Structure 1
Amino acid sequence: MSTTTSGNRIRLTQYAHGGGCACKIPPGELEEVLRGLGDGVPVRDPAGELVVGLDEGDDATVVRLHDGPAVLATTDFFTPVVDDPYDWGRIAAANALSDVYATGGRPLVALNLLAWPRGVLPFELARQVLRGGLQVAAEAGCHVAGGHSVDDPEPKYGMAVTGVVDPDRVLRGDAGEPGAPLSLSKPLGTGVLNSRHKATGEVFPHAVAAMTRLNREAAEAALAAGVTCATDVTGFGLLGHAYKLARASGVTAVIDSAAVPYLDGARQALREGHVSGGTRRNLEWVRAHSDLSAVTEEEALLLADAQTSGGLLVAGEIPGAPVVGELTPRGNHVLVVRR
């Protein structure tokens, strides 16, 4: 919980209608918005410079330059996911940088994105948020150079990040092949634990530690193993992101529910009903294209839990990441969950 210099105790999560990546526009609604967006719009790309763009739904845009590395661009921001402003800034920065790592790139420079209810919350809290973002960017070796701020009824923070990547070694969401194992570099459960934190004020340091841990090592391990397909697991949950990857790759993603790791306390938070609306929408989105008959509704909700700054889902094996499933030839369903 935050304490201002005047001694007032402020819970940032109470100033937002939701928290973290659970506040994303539901995936089905977002796809409806984006469908056909570029129809009739002339796009000049005679040299094939746009390696990854709007249609692929990947984590970051990749533009090939004439010589040397390709340029990555991405952005991410959200409402408070924890009450501590410094931790919120660290989590939001790690989450924004994750899109670069999920594409196999290296972040170079970030711009802050800050929305603040200037007449409601003191600016000293905003300063702590920015300090947290700066700390994580420094850990990533990424410069922070300014940004943009607006007066807003809800506090929001994130970053727009530019990076570089070898254009011949881009990790993509549409490059999955049958027979590839699926590895997950971070345990699930941040969604239900964050919801419990918002409801009760209880702090979960291990969840904060997971959310602030960069995906850099997982990305480097994937590239070293020759992996070509990966994505990060954030607001659409493991099921949502596995579904997107499998659909784009023309395969079926099979998830072994017994192999999926969870943060301590996640199952208890689920039993107590701390499930976000975003998690429930994730499950409904994939249900029509999935075989979930092998697991209970509660287990399916955990697998669909809307993560904030989650790990990488890698179509390959990497050190330290459990194998949680595999890609198979496309069957009757895009996504299958087994016990």
Structure 2
Amino acid sequence: MTDQRERMVEMTEKFKNRVEKLTSMLDVDAVIITDPTNVFYFTGCFIEPHERMLALLIDVKSNDTALMFPELDQEVVNDEATVDNHLPYSDGEDPFRQIFEHLMDADTIGIEGGHVTYNRYQKFLENYTADQITSVEAEINQLRGKKDDDDKEKLQEAVDITEKALADLVNEPVSGKTEKEIAEFLLNKVKEYGAVDVSFGPLVLTGENSALPHGTSGDTTVEPGHFLLIDFGVVTKDRYVSDMTRTFIIGDPTEEQEAIYNAVLRANEAGIKKAQAGTQMNALDEAARHEIMEDGYGEYFTHRIGHGLGLGLHEAPSLDAQNTDKLENGHVITIEPGVYKAGFGGVRIEDMLYIDDTTHVFTKFPKDIDSITIEG
């Protein structure tokens, strides 16, 4: 019981520190956070409000916090929310009236520009002018982009679940199974291992379908001679996510399959090698893309090298060719080069990394061509 109480105190301090870090970055009187994942990040309480309004209200000067939420979620808030004030409202009540009353002394407010809908922005304009409203999304994204050792441990748990499920899959024959059947198998397995859901997909693409970077798992059957691309991740009980991709070859690889696979593998390894604190983010994309271009497949690599993730599947930072920001300790990123040749097939290899004094690679699932070649 003592350990549990100490853990609760530790987590409460963690959420309060996050609020303080945010307010220290801002020049507004109050912040209104409505994205459920961001509310969870600052309070420890996750609510999916659907069409209803959810809002974390933060007084920037005092760091006082208030959570406005649908009354039906009162028990969840009681159990999980690290906030100073509860502001429940019932169906039929206007939640904006309660927001404006609670923030009556705030002349300027910060909102999440990419999350607030047009209709809700119009409601804010009933009490504030456009000049009094600022987007604080960049500051929130910057905070969420940096993880600590506790985050790292929970992300590793998410990766471990993902890799256990994938190992179970390839330890059984896959030829003759459809993409949908494999996706369903992985979904069931990750839940057996403790995941509450998948972070997306699973995306299972075989044969020519593997050349679709964001295809949809369907009724195509896995056959000898195919690439089998599997991209998926999980959501853990603590709401951390994973994201990894492995591409398998069914039966002995052809010369072209081997060439494409090894080009992507070299690109993946080059990106990982470059992923060090202090390195410009676009340098990772450049290093990986150089390998693929040298092998003659540059035109078939059509997306950035990677992205951040944590509580969300796509978070800051973006590892694209235009991003000159530098990697910092605490960043969690993917390295996921790919080659997608329409009418033939595609390969993507994706790993998750934690940037620290020594870069930590979360994903351990084998990716050498011998290990990913499956009996046809």
Report the TM-score, using the length of structure 2 for normalisation: 0.23
Please report the TM-score for the alignment, with normalisation by the length of structure 1. Answer: 0.25
Query: Highest Rg: 1 or 2?
Result: 2
Structure scoring higher RCO (CA < 8 A, sep ≥ 6) equals: 1
Which one has the bigger helix percentage? 2
